A and B are shown apart, each in its own frame.
Chain A
């Protein structure tokens, strides 16, 4: 994919950049750190790109959107981990999510993209933000710039960076070794699913005929079916690999001919994911539901239990609210 020297040196450079940008006690090297990190990341992506260009024959530069979304994702992730204030971290994380959403779109996973935005950015992160607000302490003397000391200083940045980037180097090495060995199967899953929806194919073929008069099947024709041994009709004779279907004239004993599917007959992403979910993983859906239920229950139970507050004054104060009812605690 990419020459190892460039890769590793850029990883090292990236490590330095991240190290510099982590929050520190005294001096602030955030800006140089970002620059260095960006340079590192940019060089890698560029190298990836040029390599891809030189290897592939037909298609000019790689997809621009990938680079935009990719870079934004990485930069935002960096900012998540390096920003002293937790609220900003959460917000940058939302930006990361949006960039990831964009990457999913490029990968033709629209459903996932929107699910990500709705669930992740729209629910989980909002919860995070609420908890951050909830758990913010009152300002004390040792906080400067409204920041708690534990937020301002990173813990063991050097070791963390080194181990993290060591892991990264190893992962990329393994990936670059492994990816070229992967092969795609002959059958495209969406086509395979389509073979299980023969009537759709039939309708698409009919529509095509209606549209352009060529190809497709005549209204008098229908998809042929295989014959079982006992004479009952069996499966439709559609083929996913070649994207063909066997069509038969409706008249009795009519001849068959092979028709190719329309070009634009593809299964939509939502359809595919939905079909896959229901057909192949129904049990998992149930389990996921149970997990969510348990999480909800657990959260309710946990948050409900009142811990003993060390400060007696607080308790007294809490109980001081009692006269109107039984009090706040149950």
Chain B
């Protein structure tokens, strides 16, 4: 506590005075719950219209409005509102002798920021889903929206909870809803298997989170954020690490961060717990868009952002996160390059971008990480929804070798434009939102020294190039070129068409007409495209604080109140460089502001230049190279004739020759580097063996024991049966014998 500069301490205290929020803020979590309850009644009464969708949309829109109101009213402060007292136990009067966990909500800037895009996207995607899921009206429609509403409620608890138990509640809740929604098509074995896989892999992470929560309680004596972040113990540890006395921090406190990190890896699909996310694409596309692109998978990032003070206590946690994040980004990008299912490609790109976010937060650019979360949410949701529209219109066809030229088809223009906007953002083309957010992260990698972060920075740049490549691979293959399409498996997948005895081929050729999306989907796609474009503008709001996101985060725990961005660098060097405090942010433009802050020394540079200045150019180079490569290998003939691609039909292009040349590497990449098979060998098979053993024990021992209890009466009966011979003599014998025995006893007793 003594070494934190007085201004920082004052800033910290100012930000940590916790007020009490007005009660209408409770509408944010309770409206989705209301939707769940109403839809459950709808399910009980077997509603057969789209009413559940309208209910959900209304409630989620109301929740979004409440969030917007809260943003306008309460931003900049920290407030807590309690719904009811959940746990209130005490068994002593010392530290750690009471356990208080209310069903309460903690509203600060980080929360508001997160909830804005969560509820906003949830509303939009609910609108999208109302049309997308229309095939299932009366059959599973209501179930979908019940799980949808429950998901939003759980996410609210997770993000807005005011103590770690609420976070855990929300965490589990979103895991459950993810399971329910991935396994929505429960009659499909692949979907069921994917749901199980998601839940089980998540569970491994959840174990880490649970242990982290328990350790937090044990060590710090409280789970509530308000108390935890003001606890002197925590501040003392951070100060100790800051001054280089990391050995003063007890091991248990350091381990908290490690366990929380494991939890974050599970939920946000980082290596080695990422294998569930690609399989989760078996769920309906709105689910993929909302849960596995924008909200649930960012819960891990939220966890780290929220618990950043706890992470700062440990020397090793954040570097591990950075390395794992970067590695995951690279790995997922390589796999995504070789996939043919466009939703799978988007899934791997989600994993990859999550890696970016983790790397960002870990390398102490929580601003960059969170900003990337926001922008990624929008454009990834947009991308998924476009893929969904394609899937919806082409009866489930997702293979990019079988689709081509959608740009030129009537009614698909909105989808194509949306896809283009999304791809531009994902690839990080200059002046898009994705560009700004990704660059913030990569730049920080070069700035923050220590633990090989420069190497990570170059890796992230390279991965950005790969990202651009595979993104535009999808775009060029599916949307440009000659118009060709084949319908997918769901053309006759719905059994109630009344067709039987026909083969698929004749129907596919003669009778298939793709149906382009209608109003709801188009509306949502347009809105999202606009928002994705506008998200770039957030960068330019309060530029001196790294954009609007930086502004929001400045007064929350995520913004390193205890150490500002760059003095955190000093944590790892035992330097005592004078740090520029926050109030040197003058009216500079973005570049100079960064330059000013880095005046204390080139802690890292890229190619000799200051990273913040030149990052735009360098990453632009990488990105455009990727796009060009994609155009060359996959582009259609005639774009710029001769130079670019020569694809004249859907399935064949220059890439095929390249792939054959590098064989077998593309094949390995297509098979996801056999990670799943490795896990199967290492974990699943032994578990099968163990479970088989236990099953045998159960059958023999436990069931045997129970059956023995069943046999005993039967045995007794069989044993006693000869006594009932039915013959008079037998009965007389038993009578006589009985009398004899009784008298014998009498004789003995009176002896």
A positions within 8 Å CB-CB of B: 155-156, 159-160, 163-164, 166-167, 169-171, 173-174
Contact of A166 among B730, B744, B746 (CB under 8 A): B744
- Asked if residues A173 and B737 are in contact (CB atoms below 8 Å), the reply is no
Within 8 Å of chain A (Cβ to Cβ): is B83? no
Chain B residue numbers with a CB within 8 Å of A164 are 736, 740
Within 8 Å of chain A (Cβ to Cβ): is B741? yes
Chain A residue numbers with a CB within 8 Å of B729 are 155-156
25 contacts between A and B (CB under 8 A): A155-B727, A155-B729, A156-B730, A156-B733, A159-B733, A159-B737, A160-B733, A160-B736, A163-B733, A163-B740, A164-B736, A164-B740, A166-B740, A166-B741, A166-B744, A167-B736, A167-B740, A167-B743, A169-B744, A170-B740, A170-B744, A170-B747, A171-B743, A173-B747, A174-B747
Q: Mark B704-747, 1 if CB is under 8 A from A, else 0.
A: 00000000000000000000000101100100110111011011
A170 to B733, CA, bound (A): 16
Chain B residue numbers with a CB within 8 Å of A171 are 743
A169 to B741, CA, bound (A): 11
The chain A residue with its CB closest to the CB of B750 is A177
Chain A residue numbers with a CB within 8 Å of B730 are 156
- Asked if residues A163 and B743 are in contact (CB atoms below 8 Å), the reply is no
A166 to B747, CA, bound (A): 12
Chain B residue numbers with a CB within 8 Å of A170 are 740, 743-744, 746-747
A315 to B96, CA, bound (A): 101
Q: A163-B740, A174-B747 are in contact. List 10 more A-B contacts (CB 8 A).
A: A155-B727, A155-B729, A156-B730, A156-B733, A163-B737, A164-B736, A166-B741, A167-B743, A171-B743, A174-B743
Most chain B CB inside 10 Å of its own CB: which residue of A164, A166, A174? A166
A164 to B727, CA, bound (A): 18
Chain B residue numbers with a CB within 8 Å of A167 are 736, 739-740, 743
A155 to B726, CA, bound (A): 13
A262 to B475, CA, bound (A): 149
Interface residues of B toward A: which range?
10 to 19
Chain A residue numbers with a CB within 8 Å of B746 are 170, 174
A220 to B740, CA, bound (A): 65
8 A Cβ contacts from B391-422 to A: none
The distance from the CB of A241 to the nearest CB of chain B, in whole angstroms, is 35
The distance from the CB of B605 to the nearest CB of chain A, in whole angstroms, is 107
Chain B residue numbers with a CB within 8 Å of A156 are 729-730, 733
A174 to B748, CA, bound (A): 11
The distance from the CB of A110 to the nearest CB of chain B, in whole angstroms, is 34
A155 to B725, CA, bound (A): 12
List the 9 closest A-B pairs by CB distance, nearest first.
A163-B737, A167-B740, A170-B743, A166-B740, A163-B740, A170-B744, A155-B729, A163-B736, A173-B747
Chain A residue numbers with a CB within 8 Å of B743 are 167, 170-171, 174
The distance from the CB of A12 to the nearest CB of chain B, in whole angstroms, is 14
The chain B residue with its CB closest to the CB of A173 is B747
The distance from the CB of B720 to the nearest CB of chain A, in whole angstroms, is 15
Chain A residue numbers with a CB within 8 Å of B727 are 155
The chain B residue with its CB closest to the CB of A168 is B740
The distance from the CB of B12 to the nearest CB of chain A, in whole angstroms, is 96
The distance from the CB of B503 to the nearest CB of chain A, in whole angstroms, is 73
The distance from the CB of A289 to the nearest CB of chain B, in whole angstroms, is 31
Chain B residue numbers with a CB within 8 Å of A169 are 744
A166 to B729, CA, bound (A): 18
The chain B residue with its CB closest to the CB of A162 is B737
A167 to B737, CA, bound (A): 8
Most chain A CB inside 10 Å of its own CB: which residue of B727, B743, B746? B743
A169 to B747, CA, bound (A): 10
Chain B residue numbers with a CB within 8 Å of A173 are 747
Chain B residue numbers with a CB within 8 Å of A163 are 733, 736-737, 740
The distance from the CB of B395 to the nearest CB of chain A, in whole angstroms, is 79
The chain A residue with its CB closest to the CB of B738 is A163
The chain A residue with its CB closest to the CB of B745 is A170
Chain A residue numbers with a CB within 8 Å of B739 are 167
The distance from the CB of B728 to the nearest CB of chain A, in whole angstroms, is 10
Chain A residue numbers with a CB within 8 Å of B737 are 159, 163, 166
A163 to B730, CA, bound (A): 12
The distance from the CB of A29 to the nearest CB of chain B, in whole angstroms, is 21
The distance from the CB of A19 to the nearest CB of chain B, in whole angstroms, is 14
The distance from the CB of A167 to the nearest CB of chain B, in whole angstroms, is 4
The distance from the CB of B722 to the nearest CB of chain A, in whole angstroms, is 10
A174 to B747, CA, bound (A): 7
The chain B residue with its CB closest to the CB of A169 is B744
The chain A residue with its CB closest to the CB of B742 is A170
Chain B residue numbers with a CB within 8 Å of A155 are 727, 729
Chain A residue numbers with a CB within 8 Å of B744 are 166, 169-170
A155 to B730, CA, bound (A): 9
A170 to B743, CA, bound (A): 6
A171 to B746, CA, bound (A): 11
The distance from the CB of A165 to the nearest CB of chain B, in whole angstroms, is 9
A169 to B727, CA, bound (A): 27
A167 to B745, CA, bound (A): 11
A230 to B253, CA, bound (A): 125
A170 to B747, CA, bound (A): 7
The chain B residue with its CB closest to the CB of A174 is B747
The distance from the CB of A72 to the nearest CB of chain B, in whole angstroms, is 25
The distance from the CB of B374 to the nearest CB of chain A, in whole angstroms, is 94
A192 to B42, CA, bound (A): 105
A160 to B728, CA, bound (A): 13
